[in-house]
Amino acid sequence: MRSKDSRSTVRNSRAPHTSVKRRRMALVALPTAAVLGLSLIPLAGAQSELPGGSSLSDSFAPSKPLDREPINTTYPEVEGLPEGVDVNRVDYLSPRHLKVYIQSAAMPEHEQVVQILLARDWYSQPDKQFPEVWALDGLRARDDESGWTIETNIEQYYADKNVNVIMPVGGESSFYTDWAEPDNGKHYMWETFLTQELVPILDNQFRSNKQRAVVGISMGGTAAMNLAQRHPYLYDFVGSFSGYLDTTSPGMPQAIQAAQMDAGGYNAEKMWGPLYSQEWYNHDPKLGIKELGDMTTYVSAGSGQDDYGNPDSVAKGEANLAGIGLEVLSRMSTDSFAKRAKREGVDVISKLRPSGVHSWEYWQFEMTQAWPYIADTFGLGEVDRGADCEVTGEIAKVTGNGVIGNCLNDEYVVDDGKAQDFSGGTAYWSPDSGAHALFGRINARYAEMGGPTSWLGFPTTGEKTTPDGVGRFVHFENGSIYWTPSTGAHAITKSMMTTWGKNGYETGDLKYPIAPVVNIDGGGQYQFFQNGVLVEAKQDGKKNGYIVHGAIGAKYKDMGGPNSAAGAPRGGEKKLKKGAFQEFENGNIYWSQKSGAHFIPYGDIFDRWGENGFENGKYGYPTSDQEDILAGGLKQDFQNGTITTTMGITR
């Protein structure tokens, strides 16, 4: 890894050709834009006038991603960040797939989102630091998810590799650069965000060892090369898969201009200024080759030939004209880049394929082909490059059916037992609990809580279906985790399970848990369920279990449960002539069909109401909660009147 002492500043010395020379070259050179069929298309109408009526970039636009609810959300406090930069939250889509939401100082208008795939040994080696592979998206980058996780198997491919994968989300047509002006309601400042704001987040929160590879597809290939050339102190490896590695040869700025207009209606001159101006030369990869120094550089491109139907092809369907044309453009610029690098004495790994078009399946292939070079650059040993593991003993018996896929590592010691990671889950073993294979959302929740080192301990069963057929559960030494599609996965303590069980578990009044267990200020714990609250309160030197359900339970949840003004329950729900009530430490909640559920604290108003026969007296049921009076005092409304207390007088 190069030290920061070797930092290169962004250079502005890439001199443009003179206007006369450029015009002369344009007359004799092949118009690059013609490759795309764009030379005669007015830019303002490029989107609607492309052959077939479709956008040029439709061929590689990522599909709409599947809706994935996070299994957990954390709110980390990250130290050492630049002023105005903060991590707002981290959503865990799985134990290893994170979405990090960042408040950016460079682009403050909206949260910036970065997906991270955690290294294989992230959990098994909690003190280890890891290299990073950055994967940049293409022109049609979506704002909700990286094209890499939508269109490729990057999550599965890197699951057994000891690197963190970093995927910025968004940046349609941005080239991940700092734009000169706002456009389409956005002022892109991606270069500043990535190099000055994201890097310290990765260093301080995600255990980076400061070895970094940056790769990208199409637009992202150009961006990867620009980032590496302009900030060589940050990166050890750069890869361009079908990137445009020439931004200033005759016709290239016009081609980029047309592509950006097509992919979202962006104005290229708001990015780097007028075409062929100095900033276009400052961002021309072929003019920054010397900046790569001893960095490992990998470039690839297809020929534009459609090889669909070839037995060795990775293509999933026939190519369209846009995919062919865009790849020809990439091939021309990549070939030019590689030849120039050779003339300048800079080593480049160049993979110019005999076939292939501008499409995700080819970029997935290049991802796998680049990996050995990335691993070599990082100096990774064989154990960190991929799975070389063996499954033995009791764990082998519970995973032999393939239910959680292939092993990612050998078993490792955790607490007083062992664990082993697989592509589809984790197997756990201890002398007391035996071996069990966990997977899916329950395993994800368990891992997020700390696995066997959490209060749950080791699993004592595998995953089972609940009697009502709706959910799934796993029992552990000190509790259980229950999951349904609508509630997610939540853990419940063993002692609270006893109270829940007396009421019929998920078939009883409470239904399924919807939130984690929470500590009560005065001792004990509580948990919100679909239809109420389960409370285990420490009272009179012992723990008492209570269920608060139905309308009273809903009111209690709205108030905040045992840590609210009501406190913990003192008994179960009691039926009344026209309703019900439940006693709590600091008052009661009353409910009737006509009045709804309301809390009445113990005190003067409660006493006056009681003196008049409670709900059976002249006031009837409460119809509001107790409220402050502006002039001082309290009041509460009832079906047949209002009771107030002011200056010590209750009436």
Give the catalytic positions in this structure.
Answer: 218, 327, 358
Q: Which of 541, 569, 538, 543 is nearest to 556 (CA)?
A: 569
In whole angstroms, what is the distance from residue 592 CA to residue 619 CA? 14
Confirm if 243 and 218 have CB atoms less than 8 A apart.
Answer: yes
Phi then psi dihedrals of residue 19, to 5 deg: -60, -40
Output the six-digit token pair for 324. Answer: 């062919």
Residues 206/445/119/116 CA torsion (nearest 10 deg):
-60
Q: Are strands 596-601 and 627-628 parallel, antiparallel or unpaired?
A: unpaired
Confirm if 549 and 563 have CB atoms less than 8 A apart.
Answer: no
Three-state secondary-structure class, residue 18: coil
Three-state secondary-structure class, residue 95: coil
Query: Which one-letter DSSP state was computed for residue 125?
Result: S
Q: Which of 142, 211, 507, 512 is nearest to 374 (CA)?
A: 211
Amino acid at 173: S
Q: Which of 421, 493, 505 is nearest to 467 (CA)?
A: 505
Return all residues near 91 (Cβ < 8 A) that are at least 6 apart: 70, 72, 73, 98, 99, 101
The CA-CA-CA angle for residues 46, 262, 305, to 5°, reads 95
Confirm if 26 and 34 have CB atoms less than 8 A apart.
Answer: no
Output the six-digit token pair for 434. Answer: 């035996």
Contacts made by residues 178-186, CB under 8 angstroms, sequence distance 24+: 178/106, 179/270, 179/271, 180/270, 180/271, 180/272, 180/273, 180/279, 181/270, 182/270, 183/266, 183/267, 183/270, 183/271, 184/264, 184/265, 184/266, 186/107, 186/109
Q: Which of 539, 7, 67 is nearest to 233 (CA)?
A: 7
Contacts made by residues 363-367, CB under 8 angstroms, sequence distance 24+: 363/152, 363/217, 363/241, 363/242, 364/151, 364/152, 364/153, 364/154, 364/314, 365/314, 366/239, 366/241, 366/242, 366/300, 367/135, 367/152, 367/154, 367/157, 367/215, 367/241
Compute the Cα dihedral for 36, 38, 44, 48 and give only its sign: negative
In whole angstroms, what is the distance from residue 36 CA to residue 172 CA? 20
Distance of CA 261 to the CA centre of its chain: 29
Tell me how crowded residue 79 is: count the other CB atoms within 10 A of its CB: 8
